[in-house]
């Protein structure tokens, strides 16, 4: 309407001036300008209305926090995103394929080849019994380090692809566990038995890990026998059964016994019942029975001792006789009702906090990922690392490089042990080495938005294990994400007459996270890579307590955490391998020992004072390099290459900083301790040997009398360490005294364990000085620091008007929860 009025008034003005008929050309051009004016006003009006609408919508979005950003849920300028993505793209480093775990094709080739060897008489694990020959596990055998380095440097051929295979040979006479190397995968394949003097290769069958084939017969033979003989005891004492039990069921659990406590050649374990309610490990009962499962014929397995109501019976017949004759104490416990089920449950408690549905803080990535995963390589800023997931050992980080130089050849977790104590016969032998459960198969089911940030990248793995009925994909095996720790990597504020200064850098890091669940415990492993060239390895513990039925005698060993529930003091220990390569493999290990010395003050003659000094202590041998923590002898552990020095003459190196250590209290060589000699030291350093791949094995839970892998042998040969290829072995841990707040489940704040691998005169200056994430502020005029300042931030502190779409994958889970629970 407004445009129409302007046109009519223009025509009216022209008529009054008498120019409508006699000035055709002028009127024609005047009409064009009128039309253009009309169009301009219309467009301006539309743009104004659009702008107002956009502002309103944007304000509403800011209020609701539902607006999106980029493909991870953030708003992002498309051109900027495209330019950055192009810069970030990279091809995998030449040669990194040598670190890849076996592919689906390679595993199938190994399985088919071994099954074609008729003399092995192998059966599919789905059909296996205890008295069968079958493949227990398959994984890539990491090539000899020197061959790999030669290949990476272009000086040698690519090492052969090989597999390590464990065979359970229950049908042989005598039965055994055989370890094979299978090579020539995909071409002219071959297999050979492992033969080395660095560890035991003739593995007795009785120290094998439990398999699905064995558990089938535990239920079929042993548990069925218990129910048949003691059904009335279970019903009268606990009101529940393990089979045909409706909604009141018992769950079976067990603790294997190390051969350090058994007669030669025997295999035994304590089995016990718990209430099958959320969560069983904190619902113990006082019915334990000792099973001898030495024979490969399950029909010959025997129930030996029975422990009930704090009494031991030599066999089940005597126990039942005395029970039926009312000559012993009897337990009477009710199956948990709905109210009692809340104890130990992870259901929400009310009232919910906060009262309003206010969301927790979240991190965002305003420009998308600053890291990338290509096949088996992660690239982040100046960092690159390869990875593989071993069936038996779990996640290994390999060929870790900073700015193109290898810092670490291998960084990996070796073993997790938990050692309990207690009054009852179960707790007295309850020592777990979790590697028996095959760590690689425990990497699975990480939940986006909780286990890892919603914008993390998740990596699937493909592994072979008989307990998984062969080869399979493990979804969401581990995750990779960038974390702003909101701690400071560096910061300084200064003010004085000569000027003012502020400089700071928040510590962001790439995190490679894996979580393993072993029955009741969950362990969170974080490998963190910082822009200053440092690496942090961190372990957090959560999950449920392992408990036993409460009797007053248990108080000496721990805490009563609930009615009828006792939780004992226990020791968690974690062992790691760090194969450092500082400017190559010719390295040295020395400690910079801090001591005090009484000195005469040269400026005030006749007066003396104590001064802290540093003494360098070069470790010449493996025995000399053993480290046991002592507050009285503070020191810095430095690995260096004396062929490379800084302009100031300092040798370039890295240091290892240990935190959260726990002393192993059991005397050397006693019981289970003999199988975990690495736990005697907070750190040991050995010369690299290809045969010394791991500090532990899948047999550690059973083989303490004569360990398959005896770490002490790595040290006892006492090789020289000067200018050699060195491997450090690190133990961190904690003694955990349970308390009621551990239930239903909790990470104990302050019990996170870690160690750091940090530069020590390796760089000429802090490499994080190159970080675009830093900020520097200086006055425009240093004589007038209050009159404004220059802010330098290289574009990374631009406003970010977006929030992450950080939802749980609820829609996926409601339709298919395979990735989480399979």
- Summarize pLDDT for 477-524 with one digit per residue, the tens: 999 999 998 899 888 888 876 678 888 888 999 999 999 998 889 999
What pLDDT, on a 0 to 100 scale, did the predictor assign at position 747? Answer: 60
What pLDDT, on a 0 to 100 scale, did the predictor assign at position 49? Answer: 59
What pLDDT, on a 0 to 100 scale, did the predictor assign at position 73? Answer: 37
Predicted TM-score (pTM) of this structure:
0.87
pLDDT at residue 670 tops 70: yes
Instruction: Dig out the tokens for 24 from the structure.
Output: 């055709």
Helix, strand or coil for residue 497? coil
Q: Please state, in angstroms and as integers, the Cα–Cα distance from residue 127 to each residue in 131, 135, 214, 216, following that order.
A: 11, 12, 12, 11
Q: How far apart are CA 534 and CA 529, in angstroms?
A: 6
Quote the Cα angle for 344-345-349, to 5°.
Answer: 115
Higher pLDDT residue, 318 or 198? 318
- Residues of the chain with pLDDT > 90, as a percent, come to 66
What pLDDT, on a 0 to 100 scale, did the predictor assign at position 40? Answer: 64
- For 105-118, what is the mean pLDDT? 96
pLDDT tens column, 260-278: 999 999 999 999 999 999 8
Higher pLDDT residue, 187 or 433? 433
Burial class (CB in 10 A: 0-12, 13-18, 19+), 154: exposed
Q: How confident is the model at residue 25 (pLDDT cuts 50, 70, 90)?
A: very low
Q: How far apart are CA 294 and CA 269, in angstroms?
A: 10
Helix, strand or coil for residue 536? strand
Q: How far apart are CA 822 and CA 817, in angstroms?
A: 8
Per annotation, catalytic residue among 178, 286, 367, 434: 434
pLDDT at residue 323 tops 50: yes
Residue 521 bears catalytic tag: yes
Q: How confident is the model at residue 67 (pLDDT cuts 50, 70, 90)?
A: very low
Q: How confident is the model at residue 749 (pLDDT cuts 50, 70, 90)?
A: low
pLDDT at residue 57 tops 50: no
Higher pLDDT residue, 353 or 323? 323
Q: How confident is the model at residue 34 (pLDDT cuts 50, 70, 90)?
A: low
pLDDT tens column, 768-791: 888 888 888 888 888 888 888 888
DSSP-assigned states of every residue in 571-619: EEEEEEEEEE-SSSS-BEEEEEEEEEEEEE-TTSTT-EEEEEEEEEEE-
Q: How far apart are CA 807 and CA 437, in angstroms?
A: 33
What pLDDT, on a 0 to 100 scale, did the predictor assign at position 342? Answer: 85
Q: Please state, in angstroms and as integers, the Cα–Cα distance from residue 664 to each residue in 416, 523, 649, 683, following that order.
A: 13, 20, 40, 13
pLDDT at residue 71 tops 50: no
Q: Is the peptide bond before 279 cis (omega within 30 degrees of 0)?
A: yes
Instruction: Output Rg (C-alpha) for the chain, integer angstroms.
Output: 34
Per annotation, catalytic residue among 343, 380, 521, 714: 521
- For 662-675, what is the mean pLDDT? 91
What pLDDT, on a 0 to 100 scale, did the predictor assign at position 742? Answer: 77
Cβ contact 93:384 at 8 Å: yes
What pLDDT, on a 0 to 100 scale, did the predictor assign at position 443? Answer: 92
Mean pLDDT over all residues of the chain? 86
Q: How confident is the model at residue 765 (pLDDT cuts 50, 70, 90)?
A: confident
DSSP-assigned states of every residue in 624-686: TT-B---TTS-EEEEEEEEEEE-TTSPEEEEEEEEES-----SPTTSGGGGG-GGGG-SEEEE
The distance between the two most distant Cα atoms of the chain, rounded to a whole number of Å, is: 133
pLDDT tens column, 463-475: 999 999 999 999 9
Q: Measured between alpha carbons, how far apart are the two ends of the chain, in Å?
A: 68
pLDDT tens column, 117-162: 999 999 999 999 999 999 999 999 999 999 999 999 999 999 999 9
Q: How confident is the model at residue 200 (pLDDT cuts 50, 70, 90)?
A: confident
What pLDDT, on a 0 to 100 scale, did the predictor assign at position 341? Answer: 85
pLDDT tens column, 554-607: 999 999 999 999 999 999 999 999 999 999 999 999 999 999 999 999 999 999
pLDDT tens column, 328-387: 999 999 999 988 888 888 888 888 888 888 888 888 888 889 999 999 999 999 999 999
pLDDT at residue 292 tops 60: yes
130 Cβ neighbours under 8 A, 6+ residues apart: 170, 213, 214, 217, 296, 297, 298
Residue 323 bears catalytic tag: no
Q: Which residue's entry shows tokens 């990491």? A: 142
Dihedral of the alpha carbons of 534, 536, 537, 541, in degrees to the nearest 10:
180
């Amino acid at each position: 309407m407004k445009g129409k009025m302007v046109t009519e008034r223009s025509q009216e003005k022209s008529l009054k001036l008498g120019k409508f008929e006699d000035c055709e050309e002028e009127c024609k051009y005047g009409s064009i300008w009128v039309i253009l004016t009309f169009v301009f006003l219309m467009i301006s009006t539309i743009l104004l209305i659009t702008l107002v609408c956009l502002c309103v919508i944007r304000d509403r979005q800011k209020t609701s926090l539902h607006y999106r950003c980029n493909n991870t849920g953030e708003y992002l300028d498309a051109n900027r995103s495209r330019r950055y993505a192009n810069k970030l793209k990279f091809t995998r480093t030449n040669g990194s394929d040598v670190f890849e775990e076996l592919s689906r094709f390679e595993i199938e080739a190994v399985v088919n080849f071994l099954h074609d060897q008729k003399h092995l008489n192998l059966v599919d694990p789905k059909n296996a019994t205890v008295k069968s020959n079958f493949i227990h596990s398959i994984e890539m055998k990491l090539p000899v380090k020197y061959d790999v380095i030669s290949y990476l440097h272009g000086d040698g051929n690519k090492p052969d692809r090989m597999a390590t295979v464990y065979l359970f040979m229950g049908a042989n006479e005598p039965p055994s566990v055989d370890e094979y190397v299978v090579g020539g995968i995909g071409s002219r394949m071959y297999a050979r038995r492992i033969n080395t003097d660095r560890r035991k290769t003739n593995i007795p069958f009785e120290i094998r890990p439990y398999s699905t084939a064995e558990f089938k017969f535990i239920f079929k033979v042993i548990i069925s026998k218990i129910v048949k003989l003691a059904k009335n005891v279970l019903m009268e004492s606990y009101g529940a059964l393990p089979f045909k039990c409706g909604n009141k069921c018992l769950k079976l659990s067990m603790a294997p016994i190390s051969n350090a406590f058994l007669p030669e050649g025997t295999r035994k374990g304590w089995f016990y019942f718990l209430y099958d309610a959320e969560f069983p490990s904190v619902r113990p009962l006082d019915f334990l029975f000792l099973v001898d499962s030495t024979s490969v014929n399950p029909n010959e397995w025997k129930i030996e001792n029975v422990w009930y109501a704090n009494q031991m019976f030599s066999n089940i017949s005597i126990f039942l006789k005395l029970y039926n004759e009312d000559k012993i104490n009897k337990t009477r416990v009710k199956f948990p009702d709905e109210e009692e089920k809340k104890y130990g449950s992870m259901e929400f408690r009310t009232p919910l906090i906060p009262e309003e549905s206010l969301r927790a803080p979240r991190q965002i990535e305003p420009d998308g990922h600053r890291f990338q995963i290509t096949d088996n390589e992660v690239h982040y800023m100046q960092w690159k690392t390869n990875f593989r997931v071993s069936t038996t050992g779990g996640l290994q980080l390999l060929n870790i490089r900073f700015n193109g130089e290898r810092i670490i050849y291998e960084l990996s977790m070796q073993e997790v042990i938990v050692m309990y104590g207690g009054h009852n016969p179960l707790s007295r032998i309850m020592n777990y080495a979790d590697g028996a459960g095959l760590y690689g198969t425990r990497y699975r089911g990480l939940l986006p938005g909780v286990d890892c940030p919603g914008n993390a990248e998740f990596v699937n793995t493909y592994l072979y294990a008989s307990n998984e009925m062969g080869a399979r994909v493990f979804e969401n095996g581990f995750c990779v994400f960038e974390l702003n720790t909101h701690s400071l990597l560096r910061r300084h504020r200064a003010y004085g007459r000569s000027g003012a200064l502020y400089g700071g850098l928040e510590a962001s890091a790439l995190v490679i996270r894996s979580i393993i669940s072993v029955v009741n415990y969950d362990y969170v492993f974080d490998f963190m890579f910082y822009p200053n060239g440092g690496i942090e390895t961190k372990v957090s513990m959560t999950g449920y307590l392992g408990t036993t039925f409460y009797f007053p005698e248990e108080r000496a060993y721990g805490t009563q955490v609930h009615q009828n529930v006792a939780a004992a003091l226990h020791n968690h220990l974690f062992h790691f391998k760090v194969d450092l390569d500082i400017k190559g493999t010719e390295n040295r290990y020395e400690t910079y020992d801090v001591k005090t010395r009484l000195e005469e003050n040269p400026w005030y003659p006749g007066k003396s004072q104590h001064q802290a000094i540093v003494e360098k202590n070069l470790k010449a041998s493996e025995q000399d390099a053993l480290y046991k923590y002592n507050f009285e002898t503070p020191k810095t552990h430095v690995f260096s290459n004396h062929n490379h020095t800084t302009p100031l003459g300092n040798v370039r190196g890295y240091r290892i900083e240990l935190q959260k250590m726990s002393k192993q209290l059991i005397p050397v060589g006693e019981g289970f301790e003999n199988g975990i000699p690495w736990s005697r030291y907070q750190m040991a350093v050995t010369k690299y040997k290809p045969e010394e791949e791991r500090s532990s094995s899948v047999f550690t839970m059973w083989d303490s009398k004569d360990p398959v892998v005896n770490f002490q042998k790595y040290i006892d040969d006492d090789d020289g360490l000067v200018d050699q290829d060195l491997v450090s072995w690190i133990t961190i841990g904690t003694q955990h005294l349970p308390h009621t707040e551990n239930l239903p489940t909790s990470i104990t704040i302050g019990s996170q364990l870690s160690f750091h691998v940090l530069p020590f005169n390796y760089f000429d200056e802090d490499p994080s000085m190159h970080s675009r994430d830093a900020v520097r502020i200086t006055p425009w005029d240093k004589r007038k620091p209050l009159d404004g300042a220059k802010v330098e931030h290289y574009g990374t502190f631009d406003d970010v008007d977006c929030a992450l779409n950080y939802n749980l994958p609820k829609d996926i889970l409601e339709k298919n929860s395979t990735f989480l629970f399979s």
